[in-house]
Structure formats: C-alpha cells, structure tokens
Structure 1
C-alpha cells in the first residue's frame, strides 16, 4: 500500500513540476537534460525502494510470527513438551 502511495506521489510531483514550467508532461521530460531526468528518477527510485523494502520486512516479520504461532500450536496439539490440546499438563 505504501509503495503504491510513494509511486503516486512521485508521479504527482512530476506533474506538479510540469505545471510549474507550464508544459505538458512529455514536453517536461523533453526539456530536461538526460542527466537531470536520470538523477530525478534515481532519487525517486531509491525512495520507493526504501518504502518497498520496509513493507517486505514487515510482511516477513508477520509471516515469521504466524509460523512461530503455528509451530507452538502444533506442538501443543500433538502433546509435545508435556502439553495437551486443552492446555492440561500430563505426566
């Protein structure tokens, strides 16, 4: 979700710049030098990458938590470590 928002804000920024220069988006890209365009894209790409990486890390953590919870639940269900499914300790 955040990645999509970053992408949107990047395009809005480009359009705003184009409006400031009073030309349409294609003219805007044409008027900029290639180096300027690449630098601008690089900065935006890095920002977006950071957001995407952050989201992926969040998802991985969530998956890890779910896996851990499942593992504990399975152990409990099987009766490993002295626990039954109802949580009663057996000897």
Structure 2
C-alpha cells in the first residue's frame, strides 16, 4: 500500500484483500459483505473468543446481529485494521 493513500483508500484496499482471503478460505460472504464471527476473527488474526469478548465489552469492530448470530462487514474489519496502523519513526 502506498504511504500517500488516505485512510479511506487504505481501508478499501484492505477490504479487497480481506475479501480475497475469505474467498480463498471458502468462507461465505453475504451480499452486503458480511462474514460470520469465526471468519472475522481469523481475518483479524485473533481467536473467536477474543472477538466475542471485545463485542461484549463494546471495544470490538461494529457488528450486526442477523438471526441471532453476530456478523461483521469486511469494510468495518478493514477500518479497524487501518486505525491500528502505526508509522515507525526509525
């Protein structure tokens, strides 16, 4: 990713990469770009239980409850990733 991209551009690029990774893993992606909690956790590199704990504490990514199950939009996951972006001063 180019250092001159805006955060929104970086999030869009990241979303594309997340979508590709989810598809390659055989995960279901809804028509509006949502994935189940287990897939979201894997894409973020954390355990599903950690993501569930973050959701309960209100510190995790935005989620949607559909048929009782939490789902996450890929763009929301990408935005969480990009908000954690650090630029080294070295």
TM-score category (smaller protein):
0.3 to 0.5
- Compare relative contact order (CA 8 Å, sep 6+) and give the higher one, 1 or 2: 2
TM-score (norm: length of structure 2): 0.35
Larger radius of gyration: 1
Name whichever structure is richer in strand by fraction. Answer: 2
**Under a length normalisation based on structure 1, what TM-score does the superposition of the two structures give?**
0.34
